[in-house]
Structure 1
Amino acid sequence: MPSWRESLIPVRMDRIAVVAPADRMRDVLVRVADAGAVEFDEAAPRPVPEAVLSVTPPSATGRPELLAGEAALRERSQASTTRDGVSALLGWVPADTVAVLSERLAPVEGAVVVLPRPRGVEVPSVLRTGGVRGSLTSLVETYGTVPYRDMDPTPLAAGAFLLMFGMMFGDVGHGALLLLIAVALAFWPRLERFRRVWPLAAGAGVAGIVFGVLYGEFFGPTGAIPALWLRPMERPVALMAVAVCLGGVLLAGALALGTVNRVREAGWAAALYAPSGVAGVVLLLGLALVAVGWYAGVVAVVVSGAVLAALAMLLIFLGFTGEGGVFDACVELFDTVLGLGSNLASFTRLAAFGLTHAALGWIVWEGTRALWPRGTVAAVGAVAVFVAGNLLAFALEGLVVAIQALRLEYYELFSRVFQSQGRPFRPWHLPVTTEEVSAWPPGSSPSR
């Protein structure tokens, strides 16, 4: 069980050498391939579909998948360094699997030697995939590989996604439907291949229910529940202002996480001047103070914010000057300030799509009300309009809102958390069979 500090970063990797007597290297590599926990330095053998390893070497007339596996094993073995009858292969392995792997290789005279980490070598990166957290890593992995030195943003990314999704999908009835889908994903055998995403679907359903209670929406403005906060159709300007403020908070969180990453990547000196580091945080804070001071009519707050914003722009300008000329620095500074403003404006879509969802619910409910008191046939039509309209709104808005939440997360938030992509951890793995396979079955041949 990793400590809370380790849970905030990618899985810790160790530099290792897999060592064995040259005449036992095949047996060692079979166990390494079966474990699937080691990424070797040398280029991996060409992937062969359905390649399988056998514990004992197959004969020349063995099954094709075993021959393919043996060829891959031989290619890997030939990449080892051999001296005085001892062979070794360098690679990377998750630190918490070293002891288990060593124990697994000991019976065939293999060993795992932990080495000092070489400077200037990019360490492969992999996020933790156990439990509920593992189902949430897809939010980050779809964007790219987290660099090994950076923080793992999975919990924060999931929280931001669910918050934005709920604000755009606020309806108790629709949230409950999404929660039922999550239950089906978790327990229905036919949906087993999608089971990994059920916690994310469940969280989205709960978020929709919470904001539905705040909006007073239950399959539209049916009046079944009161609005604890506001009704989107009645106060769109207030909803828009809250969306921008929420965007500012999320951007501040992304910049704070980006600052930590810049420090871990290159130290405080680089983080101080980075638009996604200290300078970016100060710029956002300064602009926020200017806006608050202007709205409240407090000149001192406006001046304080302007001073902070000017200091931040100076730091960003000096940082870009160190990378290029003065003209380039001016262009980059202008792009940084303009980009921050456009990113804040992008969060107005939280209110826009929340209004769209509420408007669709209102249309369906008004159509239902118009038909309901006009006789039996009209009542049946009203039920059909209510059910079909809500299902259409649920499916359409669910898809659109999920895409918009991802778009905001990737372009507005992750672009400040990460400056580059990491290198994914790709362990060498081939399935191993213990069955005896030394020849083709009677009546068959490799040519058939």
Structure 2
Amino acid sequence: MPRRESQGPVRMERVALVVPEQDRQRMLVEVARSGAVELDLPYAPGSGAEELEKAAAAAIVSGPSAALAGWMPRHAISALAAAIAPLGGAVVPLSRPRWIQPPTMLDGGARVSRTLVDTYGTVPYADLDPSRLAGFAYVLMFGMMFGDVGHGAILLVAGLLLRSGRIKVLAKLQRSWLFVWAAGLAAMVFGALYGEAFGPTGLVPVLWLDPLANPVPLLVAGLGVGAFLLAGAYAMGTINRVREGGWGYALYARSGVAGSLLFLAVGLLVWGLGTGTGVLILAAAVIALGALVFIFIGLFIEAGGGATAIFQAVIELVDTVIRLGSNLVSFARLAAFGLTHAALLMVVWNGTTALWAPDWRAAAAILLFLVGNIVTFGLEALVAGIQALRLEYYELFSRIFQSEGRPFRPWSPDLSPTASSITAGQPTAEPAIHSIPAERQLP
């Protein structure tokens, strides 16, 4: 697959399918078999023999020829052209109307992580596909909030079990094994950094910091991870704005060059204040002022100009600044929920050690340890999963995407009975040809 298509939606071509008028149905059989064309039809496509007749009747007839317009992947044109050539048909590329957004078809890779994007919305045709990066960001955030070597190992083993397919009840989740496995691995890495293995049991040494003993550095680290992910979101958002409307559009966009510069200014300001470097503070002020001016101009133009537009642009400009700060602070939950996980497990471990004695209380201690870890695992896995998803959607995707695309829906009804009779050369009832309304003219 071309590199461009691996980074974004598959390249689409606007085409006209032209064939002798009497061979419309036979051509449509080949189109259905290919599953590669989204036809422009004046109705919602169905299935069965009647769908073949309805689509044939919707064709534009001019003299001895009939044509249907639609979208299809550029790489599939030659195969379909070869399939309909024996019928005297051809696939004719058409110019793409500027006011129509091509449908989005993504390549077959990154299927599991793409679920994160698909539940948010369809990737616009002009944008990059962020699925793989979104999967990485999700796993990273989950691991930081769910840091424990023992709990992470359970997830890792669960991922391998899903891959094996031995648990029939979970067969439908088999393709998600890599996602679960990666989340478990990330949790194990952060658990090793925290020195957590089913709590502060001492099974693993603290490689970085004890969360409960050093909450402030952990909080700073959470904000640092958030800044890193936001920088990536701004970079991808800028690329998407350029692809959507060119550099002129990207320059004034809040999720484009102007927004990225404002984010850079915040980073320089924090750096300057933290190190007491006046040059960095001055540079931050200059960059922030320029970014705010560009954002205001973009908001003013977007509002339509005039006195009302000035008022609206000022309000949205203030909202932009406040939202940037709140979005960055939102990543403090990476540390907060990591602390919660560690605190719950510490309570369980302290209760276990308090109960432990070389008598019947040993059984109670073991039961407390097992039940406490099971409850904490289930609760924290749910919370960390939801919070990572929340950060992905509201803080990251809101900058990557400005609009929503529409999915590619190929015309591929089930034509089995009809198709076999047509390809075998048996006569079929020719659908009645209705007059073609004006809007059915070829673009």
| TM-score w.r.t. length of structure 1 | 0.88
Q: Give the residue type in structure 2 aligned to 1:249.
A: F
**Corresponding residue for 2:186?**
207
Q: What is the CA–CA distance in structure 2 between the aligned matches of 1:241 and 1:378, rounded to whole Å?
A: 41
| RMSD over aligned Cα atoms | 2.0
Task: Return the match for 2:385 from 402, 410, 414.
Answer: 402
Task: Return the match for 1:105 from 44, 69, 84.
Answer: 84
Q: What is the CA–CA distance in structure 1 between the aligned matches of 2:268 and 2:82, rounded to whole Å?
A: 59
Q: Go from structure 1 to structure 2 and tell me whether the alpha carbon gap of 1:436 and 1:345 turns closer, same or farther (over 3 Å shift).
A: closer
| Contact 1:45 1:72 (8 Å CA) reproduced | no
Deviation at 1:373, TM superposition (A): 2.0
**Corresponding residue for 1:302?**
281
Q: Give the residue type in structure 1 aligned to 2:290.
A: L
Q: Go from structure 1 to structure 2 and tell me whether the alpha carbon gap of 1:118 and 1:207 turns closer, same or farther (over 3 Å shift).
A: same
SS in 2 for 1:430: coil
Q: Is 1:11 equivalent to 2:10 in the alignment?
A: yes
**Corresponding residue for 1:315?**
294
| Contact 1:129 1:135 (8 Å CA) reproduced | no
| Contact 1:45 1:75 (8 Å CA) reproduced | no
| Contact 2:59 2:66 (8 Å CA) reproduced | yes
Deviation at 1:436, TM superposition (A): 11
Deviation at 1:281, TM superposition (A): 1.1
Q: 1:42-441 maps to which residues of 2 (within 5 A)?
A: 42-47=41-46, 51=47, 69-130=48-109, 133-188=110-165, 190=168, 191-324=170-303, 325-375=309-359, 377-433=360-416
Q: What is the CA–CA distance in structure 2 between the aligned matches of 1:36 and 1:46, rounded to whole Å?
A: 14
Deviation at 1:140, TM superposition (A): 0.8
**Corresponding residue for 1:32?**
31
Q: What is the CA–CA distance in structure 2 between the aligned matches of 1:17 and 1:196, rounded to whole Å?
A: 37
Structure 1 unaligned regions, length at least 5:
52-68, 439-448
SS in 2 for 1:425: coil
Deviation at 1:36, TM superposition (A): 2.1
Task: Encode CA deviations 1:397-421: one digit per residue, 9 max, x unaligned.
Answer: 1111111111101101111111111
Q: Go from structure 1 to structure 2 and tell me whether the alpha carbon gap of 1:363 and 1:113 turns closer, same or farther (over 3 Å shift).
A: same
Q: What is the CA–CA distance in structure 1 between the aligned matches of 2:267 and 2:341, rounded to whole Å?
A: 29
SS in 2 for 1:414: helix
Q: What is the CA–CA distance in structure 2 between the aligned matches of 1:192 and 1:22, rounded to whole Å?
A: 48
Structure 2 unaligned regions, length at least 5:
304-308, 422-443
Q: Give the residue type in structure 2 aligned to 1:38.
A: V
SS in 1 for 2:183: helix
Deviation at 1:110, TM superposition (A): 4.1
**Corresponding residue for 1:2?**
2
| Contact 1:9 1:152 (8 Å CA) reproduced | yes
Deviates more, 1:20-29 or 1:88-97: 20-29
Deviation at 1:192, TM superposition (A): 2.5
Deviation at 1:22, TM superposition (A): 2.3
Q: Give the residue type in structure 2 aligned to 1:78.
A: A
SS in 2 for 1:92: strand
Identity percentage of aligned residues: 50
Q: Go from structure 1 to structure 2 and tell me whether the alpha carbon gap of 1:157 and 1:392 turns closer, same or farther (over 3 Å shift).
A: same
Q: Give the residue type in structure 1 aligned to 2:271.
A: V
Q: Give the residue type in structure 2 aligned to 1:20.
A: V
Deviates more, 1:275-284 or 1:428-437: 428-437
Q: What is the CA–CA distance in structure 2 between the aligned matches of 1:291 and 1:425, rounded to whole Å?
A: 45
| Contact 1:373 1:379 (8 Å CA) reproduced | yes
Q: What is the CA–CA distance in structure 1 between the aligned matches of 2:114 and 2:154, rounded to whole Å?
A: 24
Q: What is the CA–CA distance in structure 2 between the aligned matches of 1:82 and 1:435, rounded to whole Å?
A: 22
Q: What is the CA–CA distance in structure 2 between the aligned matches of 1:218 and 1:46, rounded to whole Å?
A: 56
| Contact 1:44 1:428 (8 Å CA) reproduced | no
Deviates more, 1:109-118 or 1:231-240: 109-118
Deviation at 1:374, TM superposition (A): 4.4
Q: What is the CA–CA distance in structure 2 between the aligned matches of 1:108 and 1:402, rounded to whole Å?
A: 54
